[in-house]
Structures are given as structure tokens and as C-alpha cells.
A and B are shown apart, each in its own frame.
Chain A
């Protein structure tokens, strides 16, 4: 177990739906490396598929355990006192977090500096959490 940003192998995209915000988070599957290689015009890396699929599944199981509504409130203190729904989507190895009322009565009305919660997901990814070392794995390489 060691402390790392949640975003080490978790992606997030956040946005607004009226006065509610949502943060969709998903775990990185190491086979993504092959798709990134292709996008850069490189030969796709061969990945030992059975093992990495298990890694992605383990990451997802861990994520579902960790991201309870209370944990979201402690990682994002501006959500304290707000109703939070957490919807797991195992088929996407993703979890969708809905934060009710964070944005007041919508993008035009709210006084927040970030009225559409565009940065909320990246804030969540920047928070440090204890991550089991077995889940870390290789980072996906972008440009050569």
C-alpha cells in the first residue's frame, strides 16, 4: 500500500445536469496501450491479455469499494452535506457519481468559479489515496 493520486490509473470526466454535477470515473485497462500505439502510428504493443484483464478487473473492484458517497465527500469537501449517488457500471469498469445540488439552480445561476463542474473530475484525480501496490502496473506511454 502506498499513497498516489487517484488519477494514477483512474480517468474522470465531469459536467453539469441542471443543478446537479456528475463525475464519471473509469479505471485504465493496460490493453489501452495497444490502441494508443496505433493512434501514434506505432506497431501495437503485445500485452499479455489474460493478466492485464485481471488487473483492470481488480482495479475496478477496488474502485467500487473506495468510492463510497462518504469518501467522495471527504475527497471533495465542497460536496459535504449534499446527496450523492454512486452508480457502478461494471461493463465499462466505471462508476458514475451524481452530486445533487452542487451547482445551485444551474450554470447561469450558480456563483461557483467553475459553474459547470468542468474541473471537478480532475480535482478528484489529484487527491492522494492509499493504493495497493499490486494495482499500480505500468503507465501507458503516449508519444515516443
Chain B
């Protein structure tokens, strides 16, 4: 039986600590360096980047690789990352070019097949309605054209790339935990097909790694970051990032490098287990983990053992994350100081929007916009009235009125929205001022969670450009 594989995380989102990759590689022993770059919103950011600059991957990953690639190859540390974003092939090419520049021989694995955006019309003809998981509305009924559409792939293609000899694997949209399950499955020889057929040992092993992956996928959130009891945590100015030591049966120990800040306790691990989850079944493409079977135990300083996790067969359909540009928005926050905050807010609302506070309470944003004299499709009003008697400080005296408008047309939420507010500066309630100068409209995205049949998604795994595996999801 193989020893546990030490899988480190060095990124919990696009924008996480740049030095983390180097810290994880140099500050202690690891076997695999992983990182997650892709939140739901990130795909939209990358889509805009791709339109502007021609590449749709996380370029900060290349900066990190420049720092650690040589050490990783020297020490046999594998790198697995979803920084490929909307452009895993482009990321693979950039990485190969970087390796050539550095004079380091690197075998680059690339996983593609998650990007459904170019195939939406064909998939709809094949019967996929892409109904919204939250609302049930179909894409056709909503009449929207997604800018990004990515199926969440699982760990099997990552495992296949490593088996084919890849040193670094870049993917697009895989589940965050797949970055951890993949290398664990590769090292321990877990059988994805057996799991799909219902083999309980295979399901439990994958489920254990899924839980470990979920715990470390958000970086410092497992080591004392964003933690309710932060005053207990040593060295939180610079917490070490988490490592999962995944054993052959899928059980794992969560830890961090010795001498780093932060802490790993049953408390910090519990907090992260509960992050962004729903019911007791945690779904992934390879396995569904029963969160009501997980057992946690402190196993020493900054070591927490996760065991007992039961796996069940994954669902027939893959989750898909779509994003479309919903339109443009603009917002302004006005400050009311001292007495009569509600009357002040009421006056300025009537002045700039032609609605009063009573209507704000009674109408939803679309109806409120229709009742107003603004041209926008939606008007959202949020009044934070403090109303403290005898306020001693400015902060105690200030109430805030936040106005947000949205429309398909940027022009309608630009000056037609901000000018009436500016014109009210000397003409409305006493003491009127905004928290920031009025700005232009900015585009906003709408997230559309949905599913697709597995057989519609075929995944290709390449190492140094050569096709090494196709994975039928």
C-alpha cells in the first residue's frame, strides 16, 4: 500500500497571495502543488480578459510557475491547477514556452472539453434546455446568450494526465476538489470506472479525497483565515496554507508546514467543511460524499484527521456554470447626517427618482424603476438609517442611502442617473454629500447554474500536445 500523498494548496481564488506557491514548495516537504483560480465570477472576468488581450487563463499562475517550476522538477513535485480558465490550451502553450525560456524540461498536461460555449446551439438541438438550477427557467425562455458555459469536470482526466507522465497539469473548469482527488487517485490507483459502477471501496476512497480537497481548496480558510475564533489563532498576519496527506483508503490528515502562522484544529477544519455547502450530500462528478459520515479528530499539533467518509454514486448529469452579461449598473451612496434621516432620504428620493420611501418599501426593483422618472430597468434603494440620539461622533451621526440602477443600455444608467443627484447638491436636504464622486455605468454578469448530460461532454487529455486519453464523463 502506498504512503499518503502530500497535496498542498497555494491559491483559493484568482488574486490570492502571489508568494504562496514558493512558500508551499520551499517551506517543507510536499508531493503535489495545487491551486484553485476559478470562482463562479472569475469565468466572466477571464472572458473579458480574453476579449481584450486574447488569452483567457490566469496569468498570475505563470508568474508563480516562473518562481517554482525549477524546484518542482528537481524535487519531483507535480503541479495541478485550474488556472487554464477559459483557455487551458493557451495556458499549456504559455507554460511550455516559459519552461523553454528557463531551460527546464517539463512535460505539460492539458485537460480540455469543459467549454460548452461554442456548442450551446448544437446542445440545445440535442435536447439540452439548460434549465436554471435555482429557478427552473430554461435558457430559451430567458432569451439570453451566455458569454461563458463550462461543465464542471472531475478528477479522472487529471489522474490520466499524471499517469501519462505530465509534470504540470493545467485544466479549465474542473471542480475545485478534483485538483486534489486527481493526484490522490493517480498515486493510489483508484478506479473511477469501478466507482461509477458502485464499488463501495472505490467510492469511499474518492469521497474521502473529495472532502480533503474541499477543506484545502480555499487556502488559508482551513488554517485559521476567515475564522470566527480568530483571536485564538497564532501568526494570523501570515498564515501557512493547507496540506492534505491523503492515504490509500481516502482518509486524510489536514496540516500545514511547520513554523508557519495559523493553526489547524477540529474547529478550523469544521469551519471550512461548512463553507459553501448545501445538504448533507456533497456532489462531484466522480463521487458524492456524505457529509453526515465525516469524522474529525485532532491528531497532534496542527494535524486533523478526516476519516469515515462514505461515498455514493455521482449523479447522471454534470453541473454547468454559465455567465451572461446582464447589462449595466451604476450606484451612488448619499450620506444624511444627524436629525430626520428618513425625511432627508425621502426628499432626495422624490427629487432625483420621483418615488418616495413608502414606494421603496412596497415595490420590487423593476416596479420601483417603472414608478420612477428614471429610465433604468431596475432601481434598488437601500436606506441604512442610524437615527442615534445625541450622536457624539460623525460616524454615529451618519445614515446612508444607497441607490443602484440597472439597464441593458449603459447610457440610461450613466448621466441620466447621476446628473439629477449632482443638481440636488445645493437644493435638497441639509448636509447632502455622496461617499464617492458619481461614476460611469459598469457592466455586470449574471450567473446561470445548470446541468448537462454526461454523454454530451467529452474530455481530452494531452501531454506535450499529444492526445493521451479521452475520458467519457
Contacts and interface: CB of A to CB of B under 8 A. Distances in A.
Contacts of B295: 91
A24 B274 contact: yes
Interface size class of A (residues with CB under 8 A): 35 or more
Interface string A76-87: 000000000101
Contacts of B227: 11, 13
Contacts, number: 152
B326 A109 contact: yes
Most B-side CB within 10 Å, residue of A7, A31, A90, A94: A94
B297 to A, nearest CB: 10
A52 interface: no
A113 B277 contact: no
Contacts of B232: 36, 140-142
B14 interface: no
A109 B40 CA distance: 12
Contacts of A91: 292-295
Interface in B430-456: 444-447, 449
B267 interface: yes
Nearest to B39: A107
B447 A18 contact: yes
A29 interface: yes
Nearest to B230: A142
Contacts of A15: 275-276
A24 B279 CA distance: 11
A14 to B, nearest CB: 8
Contact of B228 (A12, A20, A98): A12
Given A11-B227, A92-B270, A107-B41, A100 B134 contact: yes
B407 to A, nearest CB: 13
- Secondary structure of the B contact surface, majority rule: mixed
Contacts of B294: 91-92
Given A38-B302, A101-B134, A107-B40, A22 B278 contact: yes
A133 B302 CA distance: 32
A53 interface: no
A24 B402 contact: no
Interface in A46-61: none
Interface string B18-44: 000000000000000000000111001
Contacts of A25: 274
B133 interface: yes
Contact of A18 (B133, B298, B402): B133
A122 B404 CA distance: 25
Contacts of A87: 278-280
Contacts of A26: 267, 270-271, 274
B134 A109 contact: no
B300 interface: yes
Nearest to B221: A13
A136 interface: no
Given A16-B276, A89-B280, A109 B266 contact: no
B251 interface: no
A50 to B, nearest CB: 16
B274 to A, nearest CB: 2
A19 B133 CA distance: 10
A94 B274 CA distance: 8
B272 interface: yes
A10 B267 CA distance: 11
B445 A106 contact: yes
A106 B41 contact: yes
Nearest to A93: B270
A129 interface: no
Contacts of B326: 105, 108-109
Contact of A19 (B134, B270, B323): B134
Given A15-B276, A38-B301, A113-B382, A108 B446 contact: yes
A101 B135 CA distance: 9
Most A-side CB within 10 Å, residue of B44, B228, B264, B294: B228
Interface in B312-328: 323, 326
Contacts of A108: 41, 44, 323, 326, 444-447
A108 to B, nearest CB: 4
Nearest to B293: A91
B171 interface: no
A32 interface: yes
Most B-side CB within 10 Å, residue of A22, A26, A28, A105: A105
B380 interface: yes
A109 to B, nearest CB: 5
A28 B276 contact: no
A11 B270 contact: yes
Given A13-B226, A32-B266, A96-B279, 15 more contacts: A20-B278, A22-B274, A24-B273, A24-B274, A36-B263, A36-B265, A89-B291, A91-B292, A92-B294, A100-B134, A107-B39, A107-B40, A109-B446, A142-B233, A143-B231
8 contacts: A11-B228, A34-B298, A39-B302, A89-B280, A92-B296, A106-B40, A108-B326, A122-B228
Interface of A: 7, 10-13, 15-20, 22, 24-26, 28-29, 31-32, 34-36, 38-40, 85, 87, 89-92, 94, 96, 98, 100-101, 105-109, 111, 113, 118, 121-122, 125, 140-143
Question: Closest 10 CB pairs between A and B?
Answer: A24-B274, A106-B447, A39-B263, A142-B232, A35-B265, A108-B445, A11-B228, A38-B301, A111-B404, A111-B380
